[in-house]
Amino acid sequence: MSGFFDGERLTAARAKVAEYPQPRSAILPLLHMVQGELGYVPRDAMREIADLIGITPAEVLGTGSFYTMFKFEKMGRHLVSVCGGISCMLMGSHDLYRRMLDHFGVGSLGTTDDGEFSFELVECAAACGGAPAVQVDYLFFENVGADDGVELLEDIRRLGLDTVYAERGSMTAPLSPGAEEALAAGPAPKTAHPRAEAEATD
Ligand code: FES
């Protein structure tokens, strides 16, 4: 086999497949391997995954396309995801999206000529309190007004995503003291309902 999965990648892919009782269960990790390296999953790689786990390329696409974070077309250096969910739409995200596309001269799902940005309109990005929400490479920027989106992206192009995110990104607050330990400990043990306790002593 030659293509994406050759040499070390093929060894790693076979090891991943061997972790599962059913080879087809390795489909998502294999898709991740490809996308993590190339930024998208080309058709040839889909065929290779199909061969590795004994399913058809159509099944690889059918499963992978359920997850919107997998891309099957070449993407720009930065993926700009504008939320088109109801809260963001009511707060003007469609107008924001349109202005971005017009400014950069691309259509929806398009990529700028310089390969810098690809655009997509997504369903609720789970940041409704900060509508309209925009993600750039899945980093959040909230309360982005219709007039602010173009400036945000031009700043990212000029200064770099890390710099702009550090200044204007959201959800950067550290966890509150003790939260990490509480998360690591998992849910608190269940206690009996008071009525069950009362019935037990009757
Ligand atoms: S509707 Fe946009 S984050 Fe929920």
Instruction: For residue range 23-39, list pLDDT tens digits in order.
Output: 999 999 999 999 989 98
Q: Say which DSSP state 190 is in.
A: P
The region, left, alpha or beta by phi > 0 then psi within -120 to 50, assigned to residue 39 is left
Residue 122 CB less than 6 A away from ligand 1: no
Residue 133 CB less than 6 A away from ligand 1: yes
What is the Cα 50 distance to its own chain's centre? 23
Task: State which of 124, 141, 170 you would mutate to test the pocket of ligand 1, scoring each by most atoms of that ligand within 8 A of its C-beta.
Answer: 124
Residue 125 CB less than 6 A away from ligand 1: yes
Per DSSP, the three-state class of 32 is helix
What is the per-residue pLDDT for 173?
46
Locate 116 and state its tokens. 């810098």
What is the per-residue pLDDT for 39?
86
Confidence of residue 197 (pLDDT cuts 50, 70, 90): low
**Can you tell me the distance from the alpha carbon of 95 to that of 145, in angstroms, rounded to the nearest whole number?**
9
What is the per-residue pLDDT for 109?
87
Task: State which of 94, 123, 128, 134 you would mutate to test the pocket of ligand 1, scoring each by most atoms of that ligand within 8 A of its C-beta.
Answer: 128
What is the per-residue pLDDT for 195?
62
Ligand 1 centroid to residue 139 C-alpha, Å = 14
**Can you tell me the distance from the alpha carbon of 127 to that of 141, in angstroms, rounded to the nearest whole number?**
9
Task: Identify the weakest region by mean pLDDT among 38-52, 73-87, 183-197.
Answer: 183-197
Nearest Cα to 33, choosing from 18, 16, 47?
A: 16
Q: Is 90 exceeded by the pLDDT of residue 165?
A: yes
Residue 128 CB less than 6 A away from ligand 1: yes
How long is the chain?
202
**Can you tell me the distance from the alpha carbon of 95 to that of 82, in angstroms, rounded to the nearest whole number?**
10
Residue ranges of alpha helices (H) inside the chain are: 7-18, 27-38, 43-53, 57-64, 86-90, 93-104, 149-159, 161-168, 179-185, 194-201
**Can you tell me the distance from the alpha carbon of 80 to that of 82, in angstroms, rounded to the nearest whole number?**
6
**Can you tell me the distance from the alpha carbon of 91 to that of 25, in angstroms, rounded to the nearest whole number?**
40
pTM of the model: 0.73
Half-sphere exposure of 178 (CA within 13 A, CB side): 0
**Can you tell me the distance from the alpha carbon of 110 to that of 169, in angstroms, rounded to the nearest whole number?**
24
Q: Would you identify the CATH topology of the domain 7-64?
A: Arc Repressor Mutant, subunit A (1.10.10)
The residues spanned by each domain of the chain are 7-64, 78-168
Q: Would you identify the CATH topology of the domain 78-168?
A: Glutaredoxin (3.40.30)
Please compute the mean of the pLDDT values over residues 172-188 and round it to a whole number. 59
Residue 45 CB less than 6 A away from ligand 1: no
Q: Is 50 exceeded by the pLDDT of residue 97?
A: yes
**Can you tell me the distance from the alpha carbon of 164 to that of 78, in angstroms, rounded to the nearest whole number?**
13
